[in-house]
Amino acid sequence: MHTQTLQLRSPYLIFLGDESRATYAKTGKGIADWRPELCAGQLRLSDEALDLNLPDMSVRVAADSGIGSLIVGTALVGGSIPDGWLDTLCDAAAAGIDIVAGLHTRLDSIAVLRDAAATGGGKLIDVRIPPTDLPVASGKKRSGKRLLTVGTDCALGKKYTALQLERDMRAAGFSADFRASGQTGIMIAGTGIPIDCVVADFISGAAEMLSPDNNPQHWDIIEGQGSIYHPGYAAVSHGLLIGSQADVFVVCHAGGRTHIEGWEHYPLPSIGEVIERTIAIGSLTNPNIRCAGISVNTLSIAAGEREAYLAQLSVKYGLPCVDPMVNGTSAIIDQLS
């Protein structure tokens, strides 16, 4: 299995620039939430930038504190690095701190950053580089069991749901592994394939490699990407679904969201539409694919209304419905066999 294994120097400094939107700072937030023991601080270029509740550090303080890696914690549309951030990143590289990013823009393609790293001895580490020898998918059935998280949109909890499922399943005695398909998940897990950077012909083949043959009772919990209803990213979601050959899937949704994030002229599909289309597409490689439950990010739902909201969705779709970060995922795990 040709997956990318990272060896990042800790502790980490999470760089947020001037990004105030949690949606576009999900990389930094994800690492802070799931690997807090590795995060020593955050670096923000303005007071309006998202606060991860980590100590604020300057480059000089970070260098004096023994920070190993500055991790670019943002994921802007298009995957670029704003020019206004380069001075800070160059200062860190020149101070000997490794710069780590999961963007489409390659760090080593930026001359000033490359020169700064050469001066300071730090490394430029690009997470979003897929293996070079990916195959076209075979479509052959693989041993083991697979659960894929799918979404009504991007940035609403597919990764967090998969990570919580892994944690809860292991606690319940299951053999289970989180399989990372995006840059943040790869940084958290230390291994994976950045599916959205794979050439289209090889996306499903990459998904097959991400979750290879395994023990018949073992579960791979595969991190979903995008949404099959997304006007920009549906192709990635489609290829990942086909290659994953999921036995079951969990639909992830953001309570209160009505339109595709960043594409406000596209209404959000219903959970029912996502279930129907996921089964229609996924049955190509696994005719027995089924939905095991619904995972909802309820941050925009008042705490006093959360349980009634989840219960209403559960009755409507006849499936367990949870907020994994509040309720855990045991109700969904009960549906696995």
Chain centroid offset of residue 207 CA:
15
User: In this predicted structure, what is the pLDDT of residue 105?
Assistant: 86
d(CA 128, CA 237) in angstroms, rounded, equals 17
The predicted-structure confidence for 121-139, as pLDDT tens digits, reads as follows 999 999 888 888 899 999 9
User: In this predicted structure, what is the pLDDT of residue 77?
Assistant: 56
- Where does residue 4 rank: exposed (0-12), middle (13-18), buried (19+ CB within 10 A)? middle
Q: Which residues have C-beta within 8 Å of that of residue 173, sequence separation ≥ 6?
A: none
Question: What predicted TM-score, i.e. pTM, was given to this entire model?
Answer: 0.84
User: In this predicted structure, what is the pLDDT of residue 160?
Assistant: 95
The two structure tokens encoding residue 38: 């590795």
- Per-residue burial over 155-167, b if 16 or more Cβ lie within 10 Å, else e, is bbbbbbbbbbbbb
d(CA 250, CA 246) in angstroms, rounded, equals 10
User: In this predicted structure, what is the pLDDT of residue 247?
Assistant: 98
Nearest to 238 by CA among 151, 170, 312: 151
Chain centroid offset of residue 315 CA:
29
d(CA 63, CA 67) in angstroms, rounded, equals 6
User: In this predicted structure, what is the pLDDT of residue 53?
Assistant: 96
Listed as ranges, residues in the chain with pLDDT below 70 are: 1-6, 77-79
Q: How many separate helices (H) and strands (E) can be counted in the chain?
A: 12, 13
User: In this predicted structure, what is the pLDDT of residue 315?
Assistant: 98
145-333 has which CATH code?
Answer: 3.40.50.300
β-pairing verdict for 219-222 and 176-179: parallel
Contact by Cβ (8 Å): 194, 230: no
Bond preceding residue 55 cis, omega within 30 of 0: no
Write down the domain spans for the chain. Answer: 12-126, 145-333
d(CA 140, CA 243) in angstroms, rounded, equals 9
The predicted-structure confidence for 139-166, as pLDDT tens digits, reads as follows 999 999 999 999 999 999 999 999 999 9
Percent of the chain past pLDDT 90, that is, above it, reads 83
User: Please, which contacts does 31-34 make with residues 24 or more away whose CB atoms are closer than 8 Å?
Assistant: 31/71, 31/73, 31/184, 31/187, 31/188, 33/160, 34/163, 34/188
User: In this predicted structure, what is the pLDDT of residue 1?
Assistant: 43
User: In this predicted structure, what is the pLDDT of residue 220?
Assistant: 98
Instruction: Give the three-class secondary structure for 145.
Output: strand
Nearest 5°: phi and psi at 10? -105, 165
DSSP for 261-289 reads: TTEEEEEPPPHHHHHHHHHHHHTTT-TT-
Name residue 324's amino acid.
Answer: P
The predicted-structure confidence for 76-92, as pLDDT tens digits, reads as follows 755 678 899 999 999 99
User: In this predicted structure, what is the pLDDT of residue 129?
Assistant: 87
12-126 has which CATH code?
Answer: 3.40.50.720
- 98 beta partners: 69
